[in-house]
Amino acid sequence: MAGGALPYQRNTAARQPYLLERMHKWRCERFGRTRAMPHIKSYSAFSDGRCLPSWLLITSANLSKAAWGELQKKESQLAIRSYELGVLLTDEDSLQLLPYDMPLTKFEPGDQPWVCDDTYTKPDIHGATWPPD
């Protein structure tokens, strides 16, 4: 089950309500991947009125201090606990290869992110529920 690869927990989501307004629903009809959400993290910046982002970072880096670092010792050093890999795309041709459909579909009021420590009784397309039986 794809969600099993996403270790986002209920307590973490509760501490990060500001992320809800930035979250979007996964959709990738143009590559036939809407039902197969990958375990990627992507960060981008959009200019007003543009369909494509100004830049796109596709990476293994979670939104965590371990991945992005934390200033320590009176902000004199940056401590990074895990090394991540990413690709920064800035040219127009590469940005055409977005791994999801545009325009993005924002979360609607009441939408919640999938969390691994909740129970989901509605079967997915394979008939599986979470946690697995």
Which parts are annotated binding residues?
41
Tell me which H or E stretch contains 17.
Answer: none
Q: Answer yes or no: 24 catalytic.
A: no
How far apart, in whole angstroms, are the C-alpha atoms of residue 68 and residue 43?
A: 13
What residue has token string 């197969």? 36
> From the annotation, which residues make up the binding site for substrate?
41
What one-letter code names the amino acid at 96? Answer: Q
Q: How many residues make up the chain in this entry?
A: 133
Which residue is catalytic, options 10, 24, 30, 39? Answer: 39
Catalytic residue numbers read 39
